[in-house]
Amino acid sequence: MNFCKLLRKTIKLKSCVRYLNNYKTFSKRQRIEEIRKTVFPKSRKNPVIMKLETPEFKSIFTDELNLLIKLFKDNGFELRVAGGAVRDLLMGNKPKDLDFATTATPDQMKELFTNEGIRMINMKGEKHGTITARINDKENFEITTLRVDLVTDGRHADVQFTTDWLLDANRRDLTINSMYLCFDGTVIDYFYGYEDLKKRRVCFVGDAETRIIEDYLRILRYFRFFGRISERPDTHEEVTLEAIRKNASGLGQVSGERIWVELKQILEGNFAGELALTILDCGIGPYIGLPNKVRIDELQRVWGKGKHLSLKGITLLTSLLSNEEDALALHNRLKLSAYERDLALFIIQHRAPKPSPDPLLPYQKLVVLGKGKDIKDYVIQVLKYNNSPYIQDFESWIPPKFPVTGTMLKDYGVESGKFMGAVLSELKEIWAESKFNKTIDELLKDVPHIVSTLKERKKVKQ
């Protein structure tokens, strides 16, 4: 049980065994007190570290936010900006999203918003302590009650609402995500997240293994934020990587959809190739849908030559796969979109060199002869995969329209249906081989021969 592991690792008392044996009899209050004992010595005694007065900070104050601030203040509840938005503001960036933490419980927030006639949306978050209010039918605010994780199963937690900001900060994943911001600009930092941010250091709050055991998805969140924050790909701390290696199997119980949300951002961010190799070195691959035998050399080749090309995450990930079976197994684990699944299959089918006097023609033919609105996008990813010098030429190429129609073929006595489709396919091949230069009349002259050939083939099959 995770609480027991926390006790083993953090309570330096001879009576630890007694705590473990009596754990089931602990009340929630007793559990919180035990957590508090382990947290308090590691936290900053005075968490107020600075006051923000930057343009980015001032820009977050909309009429809607000001109304929200007043509403909580007038009703005696504390409200602060939490998590990633604080990190972004300290880095001089305007945050894309604002998340809020409060001492008000979900029931208190619902009563507050109902009394003010403010609409609440997405009520699924209430069981996690989150209420989303839409103010002036213009701006949404996601507000979460301060919480303590009493017991976790590696993905979900038995939580207790609290008014203690330190305990809420302790349950967050990384130090750089555990800070709060008051609306007068005061930054609250219990676990030295600001110092870590200045050093571009990514580390867990408190003990890395404890944080990971609480939620195994944090393994991938660590790598995602490492790509965003770190200035180099090789500054991982061994104690963190060791905790990840030890608990990599925990990702096996996390849904593929959640894994792909994190992994995709890693593979499309900074140091994607290097982070992918570190992920593999930590033994994570089999738990996220990758085969036991992966093509590391191919990953290094694709990343080494194509890191400047804005590769899609699935394109880089496909470099590790050997065949279509690997791609389908990955899809079954991660629940890829149809676009991503088909792109992985397309890359595997067409990543081998296509020698031709006209280097672009084989890829142009794939577009003209293929089906689906995404074929050109797929081909561009194949060219990026191989760092082709013709990427820009292909991107600017506008596929020509095939000049022959079914109506024209009817006039030649070609029957409708599958047979006509086969004739059209043969004509497209001839047209493509001519570099799309053959005219309608020239193509139609080939129809009798094509019809005769196809009918002969049909007889042979019968």
Alpha-carbon span 177 to 267, nearest angstrom = 21
pLDDT at residue 42, rounded to an integer: 74
Pair 89, 181: CB distance under 8 Å: yes
Q: Is the pLDDT of residue 195 over 90?
A: yes
Q: What pLDDT, on the 0 to 100 scale, is given for residue 245? A: 97
**Residue 103: per-residue pLDDT:** 97
12 versus 178: the higher-pLDDT residue is 178
DSSP state letter for 252: G
141-150 residue pLDDT tens: 999 999 987 6
Distance CA 416, CA 46 (A): 81
Give the amino acid at 431.
Answer: W
* DSSP H or E stretch at residue 198: helix 193-198
Is the pLDDT confidence value at 94 over 90?
Answer: yes
- pLDDT for 12: 37
Contacts of 338 (CB under 8 A, 6+ apart): none
Write down the pLDDT at residue 406. Answer: 87
Domains 48-198 and 215-350 share a fold: no
What CATH number matches the domain at 48-198, 3.40.50.2300, 3.30.460.10, 3.40.50.1970, 3.40.718.10? 3.30.460.10
pLDDT for residue 24: 44
For residue 344, pLDDT beyond 80? yes
How do the domains of the chain map onto residue ranges?
48-198, 215-350, 401-462
Query: Bigger pLDDT: 279 or 40?
Result: 279
CA angle 12, 16, 22 (to 5 degrees): 150
Do the Cβ atoms of 306 and 384 come closer than 8 Å? Answer: yes
pTM score? 0.85
Strand arrangement of the beta sheet that strand 99-102 belongs to: 48-51, 186-188, 180-181, 79-82, 99-102, 139-145, 130-135, 119-121
What pLDDT, on the 0 to 100 scale, is given for residue 394? 96
Q: Would the CA dihedral through 270, 272, 276, 281 be positive or negative? A: negative
Q: Going by DSSP bridges, is the β-strand pair 130-135/119-121 parallel, antiparallel, or unpaired?
A: antiparallel
Q: What is the pLDDT of residues 53-91, one digit of tens each?
A: 999 999 999 999 999 999 999 999 999 999 899 999 999
Q: Can you tell me the distance from the alpha carbon of 295 to that of 276, in angstroms, rounded to the nearest whole number?
A: 12
Q: What is the pLDDT of residue 69?
A: 97
What number is the average pLDDT over the span 305-318?
Answer: 95
Decide if pLDDT at 2 tops 60. Answer: no
Tell me what pLDDT residue 459 has. Answer: 76
pLDDT top residue among 10 and 240? 240
User: What average pLDDT does the structure give for the chain?
Assistant: 89
| 8-state DSSP, 139 | E
Cα end-to-end distance, the chain, whole Å: 67
The CA distance from 11 to 436, in Å, is 75
- Rounded average pLDDT over 5-21: 40
Q: Assign domain 215-350 one CATH number from 1.10.150.530, 1.10.3090.10, 3.40.250.10, 3.30.420.40.
A: 1.10.3090.10
